[in-house]
């Protein structure tokens, strides 16, 4: 069977590039779990998700992880293909729920990807060194991916300084902080791809998620 699936590998030391369209080629509808931030309206908590994620994950079935109620985490993990931990304010209850599902997904060998603060949470699971850094002056800042400079949005005040040797670092900023990484089925993206007009995710991580 001939599939319209193209892969281009650029040879070079520690360098690889992929160009593909898996969804079109394989007609895959992935079942993706995604965590939500907690917002308050008149003192009442609401789960919320940036609408930009609908663009990033267009064509896939989404499961919105609630921050309250009774959740059968094993059942959820059995029925998802992957799980994304999104950005937003750090809240203990949310963190607890995200970690419970993330650990069950990891135990099943299924992809878990963190973005923004979610990437820092993943980095913690990988025993990385995280430190406070100066906030970016502007909402967009440059990162480096295999020598290519890309502008991304983000306002993190914490940075990933060091990661263990088993982690592949995909992107850094000009100060050397890690901006994207992957280790087996676990990955992190420190910026907020859902806030980009044309969302960009490192191809290695997009391939992991099949998006």
Angle at 166 between CA 95 and CA 148, to 5 degrees: 90
Per-residue model confidence (pLDDT) at position 202: 97
Query: Binning pLDDT at 50, 70 and 90, where does residue 1 land?
Result: very low
pLDDT in tens, 94-134: 999 999 999 999 999 999 999 999 999 999 999 888 887 75
Whole-model pTM: value is 0.85
CA gap 63, 143 in Å, rounded: 30
Query: What is the enclosing helix (H) or strand (E) of 104?
Result: helix 92-107
Mean pLDDT of 58-69: 94
Q: Is the pLDDT of residue 151 over 50?
A: yes
Chain-wide mean pLDDT for the chain?
Answer: 86
Distances (CA, A) of 148 to 1, 14, 145, 155, 183: 35, 14, 5, 21, 21
Q: Is the pLDDT of residue 182 over 50?
A: yes
| Structure token pair of residue 9 | 């590998």
CA gap 24, 196 in Å, rounded: 22
Mind listing the domains of the chain with CATH numbers? 28-209 (3.40.50.880)
Q: Is the pLDDT of residue 11 over 70?
A: no
Q: Is the pLDDT of residue 12 over 70?
A: no
| Structure token pair of residue 182 | 């992957």
Q: Is the pLDDT of residue 204 over 80?
A: yes
């Amino acid at each position: 069977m001939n599939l319209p699936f193209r892969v281009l590998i650029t040879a070079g030391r520690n360098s690889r590039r992929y160009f593909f369209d898996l969804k079109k080629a394989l007609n895959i509808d992935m079942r993706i779990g995604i965590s939500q931030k907690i917002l308050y309206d008149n003192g009442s908590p609401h789960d919320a998700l940036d609408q930009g994620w609908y663009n990033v994950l267009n064509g896939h079935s989404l499961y919105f992880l609630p921050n309250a109620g009774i959740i059968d985490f094993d059942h959820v993990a059995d029925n998802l293909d992957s799980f994304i931990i999104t950005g937003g304010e750090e809240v203990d209850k949310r963190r607890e729920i995200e970690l419970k599902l993330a650990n069950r997904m990891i135990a099943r060998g299924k992809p878990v990807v963190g973005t923004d603060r979610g990437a820092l949470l993943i980095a913690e699971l990988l025993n990385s060194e995280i430190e406070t850094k100066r906030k970016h002056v502007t909402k967009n800042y440059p990162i480096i991916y295999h020598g290519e400079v890309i502008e991304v949005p983000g306002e993190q005040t914490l940075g990933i300084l060091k990661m263990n040797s088993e982690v592949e670092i995909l992107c850094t900023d000009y100060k050397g902080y890690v901006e994207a990484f992957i280790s087996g089925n676990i990955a992190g993206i420190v910026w907020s791809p859902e806030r980009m007009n044309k969302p960009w995710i490192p191809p290695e991580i997009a391939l992991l998620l099949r998006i």
